[in-house]
Amino acid sequence: MNFNNTIELAQSLDQADELKSYREQFIFPQHNGKDTYYFTGNSLGLQPRKAQQYILEELEDWGKYGVEGHFLARRNWFGYHHFLTDKAAKIVGAKAAEVAVMNTLSVNLNLLMVSFYRPVTKRTKIIMEAAAFPSDHYAVQQQVRFHGLNPSEHIILLHPRDGEYCIRTEDILAQIEENKDGLALVMLGGVNYYTGQFFDLQTITEKVHQVGAIAGYDLAHAAGNIVLKLHDWNVDFACWCSYKYLNSGPGGVASIFVHEKHGNNPDLPRFAGWWGNEEKDRFLMKSEFIPATGASGWQQSNAQIFSMAAHLASLELFEAAGMDKLRHKSETLTGYLEQLIHYIPQIKIITPTAPNERGCQLSLIALDRPKDLFKFLQNHGIMTDWREPDVIRVAPVPMYNRFEDCWILAESIKEFYS
């Protein structure tokens, strides 16, 4: 689609947007008494207006019922995660039994690797991005050390080719093939946090399984951003947070996916917690752990009620809007912003151009005074995200960003360099 550079076009696109009403369901930070132009949903999503109501309802029920709220609250706490499971599963293309809403992201990644990284044979190696989010490196390195192995020998890091920013799919597949005899696990971020590149998870998973290894993904920047089909792609496991595109608050409750081919295998090693025990027997207080079926068997502790209440407010919006419609708007909105920025000579976009290789994030390298540009935007009520050494990340989120927001961002960058 070829866009012209006028605010009138941006406003007409906003008028035609069938999802425009969802913007009103969120609370925007203020700048000089006006809503900010918020492009940091890839770091922390906005607050849904219903989040406060749902949290207050849980506080009311706590005060009213005390411990009996586990069974008498309007959304009983004993089964609270069930109010979320179906909605969360739809977002990642999974069966409900393959998803559990629980814990936080890094905790879940470590728990899943206990089950799926088993270097008890010659298969000991893990392939991951060299530029993965630091917490993924921490988890993978410590898991390798936990098994008495040296990370420098057993972790294979994927790098872009010289002069490039993103990793080519054929290079990932080549590394899998080259290390096929000793490969235990491929552990990638679904969308790279720095470049915004979306990896071809279906093709990568197929190759991983061809060589007899396990495919697992950190979907922190993919869930709620990309249309995912974890079950159909035969992904072994995945985990994601809820505070970015899923708009569920700082440190919000996270989720896991375990494919059904693994979820009902009680012999698969795992760290057990009492909320992961078979639900009907949980309060019999038996010492023997009998895992619940599916991903629920990886749960650890009681449901995080207040965090889950905020998550419920967001998941209801996703269910109503639908990921297919959100993704369609995302591709149009991001493409619009890309064209506007493309003609600014001081800006280089390092995110892939192809819509199927990215979500709604664009990573920008400002070739002249990058930190000053970031501060200039901030001082004009435009919230973007700075990543060292020179990248400004912007995310036009389809749930609440407008075409006019994108136009104003591009015009502000031009103003800075004029």
- The set of residues, in sequence order, having a beta carbon less than 8 Å from that of 246 and lying 6+ positions away, is 45, 91, 223, 224, 240, 252, 311, 314, 315, 318
Helix (H, G, I), strand (E, B) or coil at 163: coil
The predicted structure's pLDDT at residue 2: 52
The stretches in the chain having pLDDT less than 50 are 1
Q: Kindly provide the residue ranges of all beta strands, DSSP E only, lying in 36-82, ordered along the sequence.
A: 37-38, 47-48
* Residue 166, both tokens: 């993103």
The predicted structure's pLDDT at residue 1: 45
> Residue written as tokens 């492009």?
39
Distances (CA, A) of 226 to 24, 42, 230, 312: 22, 12, 11, 20
Q: Using the 8-state DSSP alphabet, how is residue 29 labeled?
A: P
- The set of residues, in sequence order, having a beta carbon less than 8 Å from that of 93 and lying 6+ positions away, is 227, 228, 229, 230, 231, 232, 233
Helix (H, G, I), strand (E, B) or coil at 211: coil
The predicted structure's pLDDT at residue 279: 87
Widest CA span of the chain, in angstroms? 71
- The set of residues, in sequence order, having a beta carbon less than 8 Å from that of 244 and lying 6+ positions away, is 41, 42, 43, 44, 45, 220, 221, 223, 224, 225
pLDDT digits over 57-98, tens only?
Answer: 999 999 999 999 999 999 999 999 999 999 999 999 999 999
Q: Kindly provide the residue ranges of all beta strands, DSSP E only, lying in 190-246, ordered along the sequence.
A: 214-218, 237-240
pLDDT digits over 314-348, tens only?
Answer: 999 999 999 999 999 999 999 999 999 999 999 99
The predicted structure's pLDDT at residue 280: 86
Helix (H, G, I), strand (E, B) or coil at 123: coil
φ and ψ of 291, to 5 deg: -65, 140
Report the C-alpha gap between 6 and 245 in whole angstroms: 28
Helix axes of 49-65 and 305-321: crossing angle, nearest 10 degrees? 140
What residue type is 240 in one-letter code? Answer: W
The predicted structure's pLDDT at residue 392: 98
Q: Which domains are present in the chain?
A: 7-50+322-417 (3.90.1150.10), 79-319 (3.40.640.10)
* Residue 312, both tokens: 């419920």
Distances (CA, A) of 44 to 29, 119, 220, 265, 295: 12, 36, 11, 36, 26
Buried/exposed 321-341: b ≥16 CB within 10 Å, e otherwise: bebeebbebbbbbbbbbbbbb
The rounded radius of gyration (Å) of the Cα atoms in the chain is 22
